[in-house]
Amino acid sequence: MVFVVSRKNFFAENETTGLFISWVTITLAFALVLSEKFLNFGSFLSVLPVAAIGVGTGFVLHELAHKYVAIHYGAKAEFRYWNLGLILAIVLPLITFGNFLFAAPGAVYIYGKEISRKQNGIISLAGPAANIILALAFLAFAFSGFFPKVFFNVAFINIFLAAFNLLPVFPLDGSKVFAWNPAIWGIFFVPLAIVVLFVF
């Protein structure tokens, strides 16, 4: 996610610490969802490394893509975790028996320069685009026969993160992309939604 703010008045935490806390939390949440037997410790442990790889690439690079595209436009940007988002990430899989995941534990906050609607749309699209590129790379590994189950799951995590973040609902990335260019939003979101709903 991306937020444009007027000033840097709340960035007391360390950005790396925020990314690490969010990575651990989302990894645990995805492990709950990917477990073949819900709340089975053995099943949970078996998918935990896969979730860690998927989130370590998908979530972290998603947020860094937002950050560095914002910097490209001359703004300053920092990731900060969101306490409610972290709580929802763990609680929702538990109360929905592993059927629902809220994957928005924080956001990149942009400040220091006025950002246009187009620039904000492109910055917001950068994160899901990074997930799509990663998913394609991991699918190539999977189809090559190199640990197919592992890489299919890692690809799924990236596809899910892209699709979830492109939902046209504030404050998710999709709301900014849609506000900038609905056609471009549709080109990215519709195929992802089809894959998530009908393939995985």
Residues acting as catalytic residues? 63
Quickly count: other Cβ atoms within 10 Å of residue 185's Cβ: 23
CA count, 13 A, side-chain hemisphere, 107: 19
Q: Shortest CA distance to 84 belongs to which of 182, 1, 188?
A: 1
User: Encoding tokens for residue 49?
Assistant: 């490394």
Give Rg (Cα) of the chain: 17
SS3 content of the chain, % helix, strand, coil (to 5): 70, 10, 25
